Amino acid sequence: MGEYGWINDPNGFIQYRGRYHLFYQHYPYGPVWGPMHWGHAVSEDLVTWSYLPVALAPDRAYDQDGCFSGSAIEKDGRLYLLYTGHVLTGSGPDEYRQTQNVACSDEGFVFAKLPVNPVIDIAQIPPNASKQDFRDPKVFQSGAHYYLVIGSNDCRRDGQVLLYRSPDLLNWEFVNVLAKGEGRLGSNWECPDLFRLGGRDVLLVSAQHVGGDALHNLHSAVALTGKADLAKGVFETDDFQALDDGFDFYAPQTTLDDKGRRLVVAWMDMWESAEPTRTWGHHWAGAMTLPREMILKDGRLCFKPIREIEKYRRNPSAWHDVGLDGEIELETGGDSYELQVTFEAGTAVEFGLKLRANETEETVLAYDRAQKMFRLNRDRSGRGPKGERRSAADLADNRLELRIFVDRCSVEVFIGEGVKVMTARIYPGRRATRVKLFSKGPCTVRSLRKWDIVTRTIGQGEERR
């Protein structure tokens, strides 16, 4: 979470000089979207984060109305941030211009915007791309060159990604339109990310104004797998998948760390969705997901919670071979914990869990045997947004394995070996701490393990203890 105010997209996710840096879109003056700044936090283990002063603020002619999303890269020992400068040119919703800019730091804490900005101006936008929606540069190096993928659309309601190339991060040339939605994936693409994983190239985009059977949210984070030809600026793809089948996962950004892991973190929220904390006097809005490790297995992206979270487990408890037909309540509950559970389906038509429960509230995770569908329902999850998300899931040897992370206002569910993940914000009352198991028909809980998760964040100037 941000230290205060509003946060959205993760930016500049990188491991630099042995520490993880996570920047993010931030409005520090209230829990509402405003002229964007870059918030900044650092961590040694991706779990305990220390807040640092704002890294970028909108204070130049080319970014006076917002330092929009971007990324980070190390070059010659220095940390460079590449970001979108946003400038309003009129009063209408489409009256703005966006350019790409660079800031630099010798130590990774204080950043100076370079005098050559903008390094990519609107004159370098190709004719078949929007002159307004031109944002969120993700930088990477390949061979002797640096590359940027930038989110865009073709002015005909089709999202696309533009590719640029540079020898030095300062002088950029347009290569090509790298990929397009071809009418399948929304009217505009934001927050692109291109990387290699498991022998294939993966392109992430956050697609706006989509929907349908495969993508349940109006705005969805999508992965396309295929082959990228950087010389020609062409991405050949044969498949796409949603990165998360829940409600609240957008604008993901990845980094490669010194353990060889491709890590991803996303904004745990969604545009055009209610944000109750804005109106409760809590003075904050927005959070990030638990960082996840991405793996390509059998041609499909899978996700694992970072193993560092295991160091924060406390108060373990376990159950084995519990027969279930109806509903039972665990002796232990809470508002911040990890659950690992294996159901053997038996002849039950439906089974699952009710989390953050009391007499009137519950968040339901259930498997529907006939439809082969896992569902996450938050209709009774408290004062926040309602609804249900469903995801196709097969039983393995008549078993369903879940790994679940619950926090005070969130739930993240990893299904099977992370083939599917579902993320949702929930806002239950303080007394909604019960955990229940239920089934319609007999099944068996082969194993259930629970740990409280105890973490803390460190404010500016506070000593680590």
Per-residue CA distances from 235 to 162, 195, 225 (Å):
11, 12, 9
CB neighbours (10 Å) of residue 378? 25
Paired strand residues for 174: 164
Q: Is 45 a catalytic residue?
A: no
DSSP classification of residue 427: B
Distance CA 47, CA 306 (A): 9
Distance CA 306, CA 126 (A): 40
Burial of 441 (0-12, 13-18, 19+ CB in 10 A): middle
DSSP classification of residue 61: T
Paired strand residues for 391: 374
42: nearest Cα among 72, 69, 6: 72
Tokens 């294996």 belong to residue? 342
Paired strand residues for 27: 6
The answer to whether the peptide bond before residue 118 is cis (omega within 30 degrees of 0) is yes
Distance CA 189, CA 210 (A): 11
Pairing of strands 262-267, 250-256: antiparallel
161: nearest Cα among 217, 230, 96, 97: 230
Q: Which residues participate in catalysis according to the annotation?
A: 9
